[in-house]
Amino acid sequence: MNVKDLTKLYDRLTPRERLPLIIAASERGDEAEADRLAHAAPRMELRLPDYHGLGEGLLWLTLFHMIGQLDLSLAFWQAQALAFGREAFPDGPVDKARAERLWDLVRIAGYKLGVEAEAWRRLHAELHLDPEWFLRDLRGYDTVKLTEEAACFVPWTAEEAVAGLRRLGMDDAKVPTIEAALQAMGAVIDQRVAWWNVDKG
């Protein structure tokens, strides 16, 4: 049986058969095959409320936000533990310099955590939503809240963050701002709203 004969059977695949084939085609760079498999799938007719795109956008954003905050939390605690270790068991001036660099990393992670947390609060204030509602039932929520609170004890301004990045040799790195974070969050939501508003027929 040749490839043409096989494609005639694509409409008979089950979802559990089809999706792995689509992913495999995409992984090997065969987008044409992935498209053939996708377009051969039987269609489901859905009727969704007009706020569906907004709800889905907020759900996606919640997951991205939580993953990002957990990543920063890990960096915060790891750098802090290493800094304490260098200070508690120094091996000359080299370790003192390393400890100072590690404390810069702690403060930068804490600064980013604070920026993202404040942008999250502002976004939800604009939407008249409780900023914790989407987050509080997710795994990692308590860890993130604990880390955000701990980061308040090593506060940094944007100017101090710039100076810290320069000391670490990252002169070109952009210091995150609440406004930029808020804009990025809004873009995630807008993308999903726009996707659902496109005619899918």
Residue 191 lies inside a defined structural domain of this protein: yes
3-state secondary structure of 199: coil
Question: CA–CA distance from 109 to each of 50, 80, 151 (Å)?
Answer: 38, 10, 8
Q: What is the pLDDT of residue 148?
A: 94
Show Cβ contacts of residue 102 under 8 Å, excluding neighbours closer than 6 positions. 79, 80, 82, 83, 86
- Residues 9 and 99 grouped into a single domain: no
Residue 201, domain member (yes or no)? no
24 and 95 within one domain: no
**Which pLDDT belongs to residue 94?**
66
Q: Are residues 90 and 187 in the same domain?
A: yes
For residues 93 and 171, state if they share a domain: yes
Are 96 and 167 members of one domain? yes
Mean model confidence pLDDT for the chain: 88
How crowded is the C-beta side of 197, counted as CA atoms within 13 Å?
11
Closest CA to 145 of 122, 120, 179: 120
- Candidate ranges 9-13, 36-40, 85-89, 169-173; pick with highest mean pLDDT: 36-40
Residues 174 and 91 in one domain: yes
Same domain, 33 and 90: no
37 in the same domain as 97:
no
Average pLDDT over residues 9-34: 91
Is position 129 within any domain?
yes
Q: What is the mean pLDDT of residues 2-29?
A: 83
Q: Per the domain annotation, does 181 fall within a domain?
A: yes
**Residue 159 has what pLDDT?**
82
- pLDDT attached to residue 4: 56
Q: Is the pLDDT of residue 77 over 90?
A: yes
pLDDT at 66: 97
Residues 106, 100: Cα–Cα separation, whole Å: 10
Same domain, 40 and 56: no
Q: How many domains does the chain have?
A: 2
| Residue 73, domain extent | 52-196
Residues 32 and 59 in one domain: no
Cα 85 to Cα 15, 101, 164, 187, 199: the distances in Å are 52, 13, 20, 41, 58
Same domain for 112 and 25: no
Tell me: do 15 and 71 sit in the same domain: no
Residue 139, classified by CB atoms within 10 Å of its CB into exposed (0-12), middle (13-18) or buried (19+), is exposed
